[in-house]
Amino acid sequence: MWKILHKDGKDLSKTEVLKAYKALVANGGIKLSLKAEKAFLANIKTKNTRTISGVTPVTVLTKPFPCPGKCIFCPNDYRMPKSYLSSEPGAQRAFANKFDPYMQTYNRLLAYKNMGHGTDKVELIVLGGTWSAYPKEYQRWFIKRCFDAMNDFDPENTVERVTLESVMPYSEEDLKQNEGLVSYNKVVAKAMTSRLHASQESSTWEEVEVAHNVNETSRIRCVGLVIETRPDEINEEEVINIRRLGATKVQLGVQSLNDKVLSLNKRGHDVAQTALAFKLLRQAGFKIHVHWMPNLYGSNPEMDKKDFVKLFKNPKFRPDELKIYPCSLIESAELFDYYKKGLWQPYTNEQLIDVLSFCLSHVPNYCRVTRVIRDISSEDIVVGNKLTNMRQIVEEAVKKSGGTLDDIRSREVRGRLVESSELKLRTTRYTTTNSTEYFFEYICDDNDIVGFLRLSLPKDIVCFISELSGVAIIREIHVYGETVNIGDKEDGKAQHLGLGKSLISEAKKLAKKHGFAELAVISSIGTREYYRKNGFVDGVLYQSLSL
């Protein structure tokens, strides 16, 4: 047993060891066999779960900007985009990079590389309140700069970028001058007036498309683009706009399916607007990732359970992914005044575990629960749950009571090696307001999921996006297992068993059986080449093939 130490006697981190190893290889100071090198790199990798789901997630935040919402539970941290806190890890990285999209993307890729992770297949997750409320020029610029960073990044030769194109939207001095203003929107708007140079944060569609085209064949490809917004911001024009930007998934702040609860919390929209947003996004082929909040003002544990059942029982909804965010009390939120008056109380741990156990055990196999507790520092939470491992506690409670967890995340194959001979194809059919959905999944004998495809067969012949009228659409293909770089092949890795091609074949057969003459796919920029190789041809916003 031996250790590599600093001169001061402290252990070297895995990141430092990896950096030293790569320098030795480059200088010819060490040479391992391919097998030995793979074993070494697998052992030295840090935070393995970051890329275990098949992609490398890169989260970036937009700058602080006025929000159309007035939700009483929402924190008011003037340094952050609305609803975010400066103590959250992703927010800290954004602040350190001055909310510059290029810097955030590039330096996050560098961090992954230094931890030994593959960076070839990126899911770009754009957070920061209500994306749709930001100026369209800013949206185009933000996305373009993220793609520029991916296109520029070279895994073999990288240094941290320190040159900034943009400035902070405002400084600490600006905040001090505006402390008398109570409203988040007023503080941000006034502070930005003197600091923001809009000319630096504007791009044309042509510039965005150039960055997209480069990314189709770059070393680092965007295989998924996610934005978050509010249901009342979704309309036909906005759906087309975010699709043109390259988005494939929308995080939608649903929060509740109870109009009275929405009204009491000053949410600013009703359930009908949520249903319409679902309809339009599903027509356009988007994956729908819902935020849902138990313990809101005006609700209670039993109401929450009934509300959660609606998410999947009512065909107007039925999301593909889900974040369950129990309401946390933050001092800067308006809800704090309700708490002081005794109008709202957080659930006890027992109540919260009961509600969350019910929720997790009622999620169908076609939905992935990505989070159960928001990543907020316990120091920011006035009262209520401060346990960061609440999901683990709840999952154990479900199993102890004899329940089952059928959501996708609970069944991911992760780093396990699999053979195609041990897999079986299972098909789940369910209906929505405007479609019949088919969820094809390759599973092992123990129900672990290795890969899946979402196929949507629309009920209406006419779609507001003309190239989708009367067309079946693949909304998502995903193969699990640890990220394998583009072009690499490793025995037993789920990503290279040819499952994607097999799933496409199943979708083609079923769509044709139901009378569809064409099959489209909502492809990401970085997956266009993959679909071309599988017979799809480029359209305006989608790729498709004739059946």
| Domain end (from 170, 194, 228) | 228
Q: Is the pLDDT reported for residue 7 higher than 60?
A: no
CB atoms within 10 A of CB 157: 7
Same domain, 200 and 279: no
- Which of these ranges, 7-11, 322-326, 392-396, 498-502, has the smallest mean pLDDT? 7-11
* Predicted confidence (pLDDT) per residue in 250-300, tens digit: 999 999 999 999 999 999 999 999 999 999 999 999 999 999 999 999 999
pLDDT of residue 74: 94
Q: Determine whether 166 is exposed, middle or buried from the number of CB atoms within 10 Å of its CB (0-12, 13-18, 19+).
A: buried
Same domain, 74 and 163: yes
Q: Is residue 219 part of a domain?
A: yes
Same domain, 472 and 335: no
Domain of residue 88: give its range.
Answer: 50-228
Q: Is residue 2 part of a domain?
A: no
Q: How confident is the model at residue 2 (pLDDT cuts 50, 70, 90)?
A: very low
Q: Is residue 211 part of a domain?
A: yes
* Predicted confidence (pLDDT) per residue in 435-481, tens digit: 999 999 999 999 999 999 999 999 999 999 999 999 999 999 999 87
Question: What mean pLDDT comes out for the span 115-122?
Answer: 90
| CB under 8 A, 24+ apart: contacts of 269-272 | 269/230, 269/231, 269/232
Same domain, 400 and 434: no
- Which of these ranges, 51-55, 74-78, 343-347, has the smallest mean pLDDT? 51-55
What is the widest separation between alpha-carbon atoms in the chain? 72
Same domain, 184 and 272: no
**Token couple for 150:** 């991916």
Q: How confident is the model at residue 494 (pLDDT cuts 50, 70, 90)?
A: low
Same domain, 210 and 256: no
* Predicted confidence (pLDDT) per residue in 223-233, tens digit: 999 999 999 99
Q: How many Å from the N-terminal Cα to the C-terminal Cα in the chain?
A: 61
pLDDT of residue 178: 60
| Domain end (from 228, 245, 273) | 228
pLDDT of residue 539: 98
Q: Is residue 145 part of a domain?
A: yes
- Give the separation between CA 351 and CA 64, rounded to whole angstroms: 35
Same domain, 247 and 335: yes
Same domain, 350 and 418: no
pLDDT of residue 491: 53
Same domain, 398 and 421: no
| Domain end (from 411, 428, 462) | 411
* Predicted confidence (pLDDT) per residue in 336-384, tens digit: 999 999 999 999 999 999 999 999 999 999 999 999 998 888 889 999 8
Same domain, 92 and 114: yes
Q: Is residue 5 part of a domain?
A: no
Give the helix/strand (H/E) hosting 324: strand 321-324
pTM for the whole thing?
Answer: 0.88
| CATH number of the domain that residue 483 is part of | 3.40.630.30
More confident of the two residues 1 and 182: 182
- DSSP tally for the chain: helices H, then strands E: 18, 14
- How many domains does the chain divide into? 4
Q: Is residue 9 part of a domain?
A: no
Same domain, 396 and 423: no
CA 272 to chain centre: 25
Same domain, 418 and 498: yes
More confident of the two residues 508 and 47: 508
